[in-house]
Amino acid sequence: MQVVKYAFQQHGDERGQLVALEEYRDIPFQIRRVYYMYATKEGVRRGFHAHKSLEQILICIHGTCKILLDSGTEKKIVSLEKPYEGLYIASDMWREMFDFSPDAVLLVLASDYYEEEDYIRNYEEFLAFVKEKEAKTWR
């Protein structure tokens, strides 16, 4: 499994830091939806789903958190600790967000609007989806 973590360009001086993100330049897709999570309670895990076609970039713009990525055959945990780093998550990838610091703000840039039909919320269905997609690739 390839994990893609972007280090976005920072612009700073004595006033502080600025990170500007542009679709197709810094983000590899058109941004159609932006949302963020904050005030996540201690011990809470979020996510527990995959997407059939949606792509995302996750940026912990304040605090820290961890992301479990699961391709169906391999799992990796990625820490997000810097407000200028983004984690790219392709479609067909199960994700769980956890270990949020009390001050964490997790920003998500998504390639499409919210569509419930794109979600795979059952892990067994996710594994079947990945297996079926692999079988189609080999034909």
Q: DSSP labels for 112-133?
A: S---GGGEE--HHHHHHHHHHH
**Helices then strands (H, E): number in the chain?**
1, 12
Phi (first) and psi of residue 84, to 5 degrees:
-110, 10
Helix (H) or strand (E) holding 48: strand 46-51
Q: Are 3 and 87 in contact (CB under 8 A)?
A: yes
Q: How many residues does the chain have?
A: 139
The CA dihedral of 128, 131, 136, 139, to the nearest 10 degrees, is -140
Active site residues: 49
